[in-house]
Amino acid sequence: MRALTKLRTRRGRLLLWAKYSASSVVATVVSQVAFALCYWFGTPALVATLVAWLAGAIPNYVLNRRYTWGRSGQKLPYTMIVVGSAVTAALVTSVTSHLVQPIESHAWKTLLVTGSYLGTYAVLFIAKFVLFDRLVFAKPVADGAAAEARTPVAT
């Protein structure tokens, strides 16, 4: 019986991970296209990052809330996580844009800076899952006994 419960829990976590991944792919595609277009047409990396972040944040929140976790999350932790991600991406893309200025090809510059934007979110992908799962969309503890069951006992 315990093995069956463990298997169901593992299957549930894998399904959650798959849904989160699918939601992230949708948001990433929207965000990447927005960033690449903005940067290609001469928008500074910082502004392109903010436009792309906004374009991806909306479907990301809606999909995570409705499809991945199936409930409304806490908005303050969510906002802190996604704004922190956006600030990180803005720093990385701005630095990358500065570093690629000596390159003559605009296409290569766009590719490299857009790649740095994607790379930032790829690195943050797992951290955001953990934070969303533990802070934003965490199931509330039903009673004090359940919380005590998770608290390690000092020996």
Give φ, ψ of 53 to 5 degrees: -60, -45
Residues in the chain: 155
3-class secondary structure, 60: helix
Convert the pLDDT of each residue in 48-93 to its tens digit.
999 999 999 899 888 888 888 887 778 888 889 989 999 999 999 9
* Cα–Cα distance, 6 to 3 (Å, whole number): 5
pTM of the model: 0.76
Annotated domain spans of the chain = 23-139
Convert the pLDDT of each residue in 89-130 to its tens digit.
999 999 999 999 999 999 999 999 999 999 999 999 999 989
What pLDDT is stored for residue 150 in this prediction? 47
| Whether 63 contacts 145, CB under 8 Å | no
The number of CA neighbours under 13 Å toward the Cβ of 72 is: 3
The number of CA neighbours under 13 Å toward the Cβ of 141 is: 11
Nearest to 57 by CA among 128, 134, 145: 128
| Whether 118 contacts 88, CB under 8 Å | no
